[in-house]
Structures are given as structure tokens and as C-alpha cells.
Amino acid sequence: MTRALPTQPVIPSGFLADSPQPVLPAHGDLLLRPWEPADAPAFLSAYQDREIRRWHTRRPATETQVRKWFDTYRQDWECEKGGHWAITHDDGQVLGRIALRGLDFDDGIADVAYWVLPAARGSGIASRALTALTVWALDEIGFYRLHLDHSTRNHASCKVATKSGYLLEGTKRSAAVHDDGRHDMHLHARIRGD
């Protein structure tokens, strides 16, 4: 019997945690920056929006709870579990959220999630933020594959994914619970070299 040789991780452990979470520029005067305590009101108000509530069943109820989420986000970076950014104008106004989650350094794989506030929709902010995060994660950090999923009923999210170069790979049947029940989910991915 031949034993498999151990492989090296795609990304070495400690690669992210050894540095502070970066601020990432995106096209059109956008910045992706770590969440700050002062962002709690904007973050909480996002979850009052009907469309964001439609796609997210896990929601904060108070600013105190939001700040606890922000603490978890900082811990995620320190433990190399994920990165969570506010999408902002360069003047600091919060426009949305983007995250890299479920980091698998051995295989170089991560999951992406995003939302934008109502006033920011339709102006390409989500796709510009997703493109900036993708370029950073694939080209600078060395991830091999990034994937995201969304309800098959969420046509706006599908447009953001495809506009940002995430190819539709298929449909995961009855894969997520939303307020109105189980939804089929589209799976999109982008790999290094796409």
C-alpha cells in the first residue's frame, strides 16, 4: 500500500493573523475596512431593511449585540477564521458589508458574503467591493478558490456574482432557510486564473 505524502497548506498558518486586517481600496472611491464600534447604528439599520431581512435570518436586535458581532469579527481575523469589512465611501459612510468566511488554508478555499444598504443598490458598489476582495484574496493572499451562494430568488445577488467573474456552478436544492421557508441556492465560484 502506498502512503500519500503530506501536502503543504496553500496558505501557511499565521499568514493573516500576523498582520492587522487591511483596508482594501475598491474602484470608485470605495474602501473595505474593518468594522468600528461607531458603525453599529448603520449596521443595525441595515437589518431593518426588508430585502436584507429577506435573505438573512440571523439578525442583530440591538447596537450592543452588533458591537459583540464586531468583537467576534475581530476574533475571526486573529484566529484566521474570516475577515469582515464595512464597504464605505472614502469619507467613511457605510454602504454595505462584505466578508470572507470559512477559511481553509490547507486547500486555499473561502466563502464570500455581502449585502449593501438600500441607498447604495444599483450603482455597482457590491460588484466593485466583491472584485476588490477577490483580487486581494486570490492574488495577494494566495487563495485558490472563492465561492458564494445565494437564493435562486435573489436575482440582484446573482448579477453581482456573475459581474464579478464568479461562474455559476449549479443549484444546491433546499440548502438554506429564509423567512418564507427553504430555498434552493445558486453556487458561484471563482478560482485563481479565471
Structural domains in the chain, sorted by start = 24-191 (3.40.630.30)
The closest of 143, 109, 101, 105 to 7, measured between CA atoms, is: 105
What pLDDT is recorded for position 3?
A: 67
Determine the Cα–Cα distance for residues 191 and 42; give it in Å rounded to an integer: 33
Per-residue confidence band for 2, with pLDDT thresholds at 50, 70 and 90: low
What would the mean pLDDT of 96-112 be, rounded to a whole number?
Answer: 97
Residue 1, pLDDT above cutoff 70: no
Mean pLDDT of the chain: 94
- Dihedral sign for Cα atoms in the order 45, 188, 177, 155: positive
What would the mean pLDDT of 34-55 be, rounded to a whole number?
Answer: 95
Question: Under 8 Å CB-to-CB from 42, ≥6 apart: which residues?
Answer: 86, 94, 117
Per-residue confidence band for 90, with pLDDT thresholds at 50, 70 and 90: confident
Three-state DSSP at 161 gives helix
The closest of 179, 130, 171, 177 to 152, measured between CA atoms, is: 171
Are 33 and 23 in contact by the 8 Å Cβ rule? The answer is yes
**Residue 140 to residues 63, 65, 84, 161, Cα–Cα distance (Å):** 34, 33, 17, 20
Indicate the pairing of strand 181-191 with strand 167-178: antiparallel
- Dihedral sign for Cα atoms in the order 18, 35, 146, 164: negative
What would the mean pLDDT of 5-22 be, rounded to a whole number?
Answer: 88
> In this structure, how many other beta carbons lie within 10 angstroms of the beta carbon of residue 89?
14
Determine the Cα–Cα distance for residues 108 and 81; give it in Å rounded to an integer: 13
73 residue type, one letter: Y
Per-residue confidence band for 86, with pLDDT thresholds at 50, 70 and 90: very high
